[in-house]
Amino acid sequence: MKQRIDLFNLVLFIVSPFLSIPSIIYGIVKRSKISLALLAFLFGIVSYLYIPNYSNDKTRYFEIYEMYKYSSFLELFYFYYAQNQDFIFQSMIFFASKMGINAQFVFAIVGIITMGILVFIFSKLYENIPKKFSLVVLVLFLFSLPYTDMLSGIRFMFAVAFVLLAFYQGIILNKKASYIFLILAIFIHFSTLIYIPIFFLLKYFPNKTKLYKIFFFVSFLFFIIPKSFIFSFFDSIGFQNGLQTKGSAYLEGDDFLSNTLSIGSTFTLFVFYFTLIVIFTIYAYLVIYKSDSVFRSIILLLAASMNVFYSVPTIFFRYGLVLVLFFIFLFIYELSVENKKKTLYFFCFLFSINLFINIIYTKDNIVKSIVNADSLFLITILDKEYINFMELID
């Protein structure tokens, strides 16, 4: 039966990736690994087609791609390798530019890898879920994903995927390859440096859940500590070269998110407070549902480290993306060992609002990028003209 599903999904996906979505979901519920892989490739196609807003990070990467056409490798080496610590994604853009490969293919590859890693971790935990919860757990996973960040931010979520993989492989499964994944994450985005001490603390002391609970509760003191103290601390331990400049950009001056909120719309404020509700709901879950597991140790330290940056909302909410994703993995794991039916449905409802927010944020982009006849078949998708700056959404 599963082989028939796999064959049907493969053929349908090759003909029309978007028409295969219902069948892919059905295949995942039936525990088809091929369907899980197709989900990652489907997201890669969406990332390939996605037309960003002019203000999005993805637009900057299109600009960098054009700039690299007139740059030498020595210039790239000096600027990124000598001055910065995160160079992997920029190098991918550079070599694609020099080889005449359109930037959209880079975004597709990054999208496939990012979603592929998330799907891989999900699949390992999903195997132990009671079949009666199969569809609901899949819905929870799909509802919880930060699609806007994955499609527009790209680089940070690319790094986050490797962070999650490093923690899963290194702390949960105790595999040595995890060190490579952590290094890759740091070289993709410098802000993942914060996870190095957390990783090694958990690596050598994975079962100190009670101690990590203390760290978690103590970290709430940072909710009343001013941003100036945070900056002074990181300045005292010393950033080097490019990291110092980047760290200062986040910690000094006016916070980007704070400025946005001060002039933002009602919907922007709604998203801000909803995100806070999600984070504090996760905190409430960690307090109410007691458990001593390596998964718990990880998320307690992730939450504690994130709370340190509460006075800098841009950083706080950025690390919140990591917390939410790992929480979903934690919850799926705990659902496999304990029946939490009501809590499962509650989180499905909560994260359905997350999906709604992502749809509102990206509806114009999705309509312009995908809702057209050229996106119906795979052959017409690959035959479409490449995105140009005239198509960007203001």
Average pLDDT rounded to a whole number, residues 132-139? 94
Band (84; pLDDT cuts 50, 70, 90) = low
* Spatial distance between the Cα atoms of 309 and 226, rounded to a whole number of angstroms: 10
- The per-residue pLDDT of the chain, averaged, comes to 87
170 pLDDT band, cuts 50/70/90, is very high
Lowest mean pLDDT among 62-71, 134-143, 273-282: 62-71
Exposed, middle or buried by CB within 10 Å (0-12, 13-18, 19+), for 320?
buried
CA distances from 355 to 140, 148, 178 (A): 10, 10, 31
pLDDT attached to residue 43: 97
pLDDT tens readout for residues 236-269: 655 544 444 455 545 554 555 555 555 556 788 8
User: For 283-306, b where at least 16 C-beta lie within 10 A, e where not — what string?
Assistant: bebbeeeeeebbbbbbbbbbbbbb
Among left, alpha and beta (phi > 0; psi -120 to 50; other), residue 387 is beta
pTM given for the model: 0.91
Average pLDDT, stretch 170-197?
A: 93
Give the pLDDT band (50/70/90) at residue 81.
low
Banded model confidence at residue 103, pLDDT cuts 50, 70, 90 = very high
Tell me the pLDDT tens digit for each residue of 42-58: 999 999 999 998 888 88
235 backbone dihedrals φ, ψ, rounded to 5°:
-70, -35
Mean pLDDT to the nearest integer, 267-289: 92
